Every structure is written in C-alpha cells, then in structure tokens.
Amino acid sequence: MRKLILILILCLSSNLDLKAGGIGVGLSAIYNFQTESVGAGFRLNFKPDNRFRVIPQAAYYPGFNKVNEYYAGLALELTIFKIKKYDFYLLAHGGYNAWLNYESSGMEGAKYSNAVLEGGAGIVKNSGCWRPFLEYRYNGKWKETNLRLGIMYVFGCKNKGYGATNKRRRSAVSCPAYN
Amino acid sequence: MKRIIISLSIMIGLIWLISCSRERIEPTQQLNSYEPIDDYLDSKKQEEQEFEITEEGDSPIQGLQGTKIWIAKDLLMFPDSSDVDFPFTVKLVELYTAKDMIYYQLPTVERPKILETDGEIRVRVFKEDENGVVQELLLKPDRVFAIEMPTDSVREDMKVYYGYTLNNKPDWTADVSDVNGNSADLYFTENSNSYSAFIGKLGWINCGKPHLGFNGLTFTSETDELDNVGIFVYQPTYQTVSQAYALTSDNFEDSTFVKVIAMGINSDNELFYTYLGVELNSSGSIPITLESISDDQLTALLDSL
C-alpha cells in the first residue's frame, strides 16, 4: 500500500508544472482526541487557488500511540467564504485505513482494513508561497475527531508576498517598430 | 463573522458530545464468570422416595405430596423379560411446584410448544436379580399401571405425557407408539381434586396440555458471562417452566406474563441471581445483571414463584 501511494505521488508530481503555481505540498501535525494519538499528514493540493480543490493525502499515527494506523485517500475542499487573507472551507475525505494494532483493541469487529469517511472544516491562508492551515475533522467510521495543523508550500510562487494568484506577469512583447 | 465562529463552535461541540466514541481504546470489560449451576441445583433436588413392596395388597403407594400408585408384580419384568417376584422397590419423585421442576431442570415443554402442567412425577421400579445385581424393571407388553396425581384446581383435557431426552435436552411427548399404547390412557380422568390415568411406561410422567406460542426471549448481559447461568422462565397461569438453552427460551403465547429467574454460582460458591417479570407481546431480548443472594433468600424466591 505504501508503494502505491508513493508511486501515485511521484506520477502526479512528474506530470505537473511545478512552476505554474498549480500545486501545493503540505505537511501537518494531527491529534486524534478520542484515541489520544498524534500523527503526521502529507497532502498534495492541486490548484490551491481554486474554490473547489481535490487533495490526495495520507496520514500516519506511529506505534507509540494507542492506535497505530495510517490513512490514504482523497479530500474534496470547497471554500465557502473568504476573510481577507484566509479561506474558510468545508471538506469531505474518503479513503483507506490500515489499523495496524487492531488486535490489541477490545472493540468488537476490529480489523486491519477499513474504509473511512470524514467531514470537516478548515481555514487556510490564501496567498503567498507558505500557507498555514488548520482543520477539524469528524471520522464517521470510528466516530472520532481530529485536529490538523499544517503548512503548505505552493510551487510557482515568484516572490515573497506574491502568490500564485499574482496575475501581474511580464511577458515578452516585441515592439514591431524595432524589428 | 462572530455568528459564523459561534455557529462553527457549536457544531464542533455538538459533534464531540453526541457522536464521539473511544471504543477503539477502551479496555475490554471483564465479565463476571460463573461455574456450572448444575451441582447447586442437584443439591437442592427433592429426595427420591423409596417404597419396598413385599407382598400383594390393595392399597396404593402414596407419596409425600399425595401421588398414588397402584402397581403389581405381575405387571413387571426384568429387561430380559423374566418374571418378577417380591420384594421389589418402587422409587418416586414428585414435582408439583415450579421450584422443584427448576431444581430438577425439567421444563414443561413439548417442543416447540409449552405445556400447561399440573405436575411431573417419576416412577421407577428396581429389584435385585439372581446374581445380586439391582436392575431397573420394565412393564410387561400391553400392561399398564394406575396413578393418581393431586391438584388444588382441576384443569380440563390434561393429557398423559412421557418424558424423554432429545439432543441432550429433556422433552415430553404424548405419543404412545413407544409405550404400551393399547391400554394406556391418552388423557387424565378428572376427579374432584386429582387426576387419574392408566400409564403405559415407567419413568417420567407429566399431566399437561400443549400451547403453541411465538414469543420467545433471548438473554444478554454486559456484566456477566451467561454460559453457565441457569435461566428459567415461569408462566404462572399455565404453571409452565421453560429453561433457556443457548440463552433462548421457549415460545409463549401473546400477552403472556412470565417471571424470569436467572441463577449463577461463582468459584467461591457464592450465589447470584436476577428476577424480573415480563409481559410478552412479542419476542424480545432481556438484559441481565446478576446480584448477590444467599441460599435461603434464593430458596424463598423460588418458593414464591
């Protein structure tokens, strides 16, 4: 499964023009309130300036937690309103969950492979190359909530203070008068 | 902006309070475990009465609870069909109360029906053979013996049922194909305060009437392992005793009121119980939580059924 995710990321990455400002790469720290577990997340944000975004992502909760697991899936985000430099969005995430230490749980029906669906909301900075974000999610499968605090780097940013939304570009213009 | 923040906070808070679960990390609750209840119930069983018959006579054998038996040596034979002479021993068990039926773990059923009952008795006859071995005697072919079973209130159309074991569970049948059916009565004769009949087979006999129902109970517990717990359902109207097997009772008719009694004993010989009344309008699941009880208290509770 890990190999599949890596291949997916590499293929997607290799087919994108990283200079075009069309992709963000994010890392996040995650805390699950019910399992009291900490984890890390990774995501790719295609066209981060769009109101509607498709975001493949993965998360991993290491073995020192009460629940050792990883997730891989796809999130859909929709910005519902903006306030100055921040977008507020709703999200839905569906994916695969591998519960690595399920056997140590007393929960009836615990198993290794699971399908999960999450819903939530978040806030993200909508300009600049470095864009912090904060999300709160509810996992419908496990009935657990988690908070994600992360940072995303948007490729294609030209200068500090300018984001991929900067439409003021210099283009090569030839002056017919001088040709 | 303020309203949005407040709304989001309320939404987050509600999700947290209403829908969150820690089931994945909560430790498995240890259930209270129990030893098999059989030994305890056996220890409370009614003593089997013995009557040594030494000569011919007209008087019936009379049990402590009023059962009368007329049985002559000419009706009896050894398993090898040889004749029987005096003396021989008649052994009698009389179960006329729910408590005694529960102690004997002898439910009143003709599966899948329940039996309305006015008593269960067991009649056996023994004699030492010429080799000094005590053997259980049989009735000769086509021979029957007479019994009379007492009652406080005569019920109509009570049939003669014979006890047998099916799949390791006690059961009753009115089928006379396995008994001396030519002469045996199918129904008890109703007297003023008793029933009488000619019986075609030695062993367990039930004075009963069948009823077919569709409402059964299943039993669950979040605190106790029920595998070794004795669970009985008593219906006062029919005086029916049902025993739960695999945590499931027999089926009763609609709108039936039943009493559930569950008994457990732990490895320290401490007794536990649950007792409750249930109005049966459909099949249902009954949660059980056992509480501590003394032997005297449990005996008194069963007496009160």
**What average pLDDT is seen over chain B?**
92
Residue B77 near residue B138, CB atoms below 8 Å: yes
Q: B147 forms bridges with which residues in the sheet?
A: B69, B197
Higher pLDDT, B186 or B13: B186
Interface contact B29, partner A, CB < 8 A: yes
Residue in B25, B26, B29, B220 to test binding to A, most A beta-carbons within 10 Å: B25
Which ipTM score applies to this complex?
A: 0.73
Q: Spell out which chain A residues touch chain B, with contact meaning CB-CB distance below 8 angstroms.
A: 33-36, 66-67, 81, 83, 88, 99, 105-107, 110, 121, 136, 138, 142-145
Tell me the C-alpha to C-alpha distance, in Å, between residue B145 and each of B77, B137, B156, B206: 13, 13, 22, 15
pLDDT in tens, A13-50: 544 444 445 789 999 999 999 999 999 999 999 888 89
Domains and CATH numbers, chain A: 2-178 (2.40.160.20)
DSSP class of B27: P
Higher pLDDT, A44 or B16: A44
How many beta carbons lie within 10 A of that of residue B136, not counting itself? Answer: 13
Partners of B1 on chain A (C-beta within 8 Å) are: 83
Interface contact B15, partner A, CB < 8 A: yes
Dihedral over alpha carbons B14, B16, B20, B24 (to 10 degrees): 180
Domains and CATH numbers, chain B: 45-211 (2.60.220), 213-303 (2.60.40)
The per-residue pLDDT for B280 is 87
Could you tell me which of B277, B238, B242, B273 has the C-alpha nearest to residue B259? B277
DSSP class of B176: -
Question: Phi/psi class of residue B119: alpha, beta or left (left: φ > 0; alpha: ψ in -120 to 50)?
Answer: left
pLDDT in tens, A108-121: 889 999 999 999 99
Partners of B19 on chain A (C-beta within 8 Å) are: 138, 143
Compute the count of residue pairs across chains A and B with CB atoms less than 8 Å apart.
Answer: 47
B13's CB contacts (< 8 A; 6+ apart) are none
Interface contact B16, partner A, CB < 8 A: yes
Model-level pTM greater than 0.80? no
Phi and psi at residue B176, in whole multiples of 5°? Answer: -100, 10
Q: Please tell me the distance in Å from B34's CA to the nearest CA on chain A.
A: 21
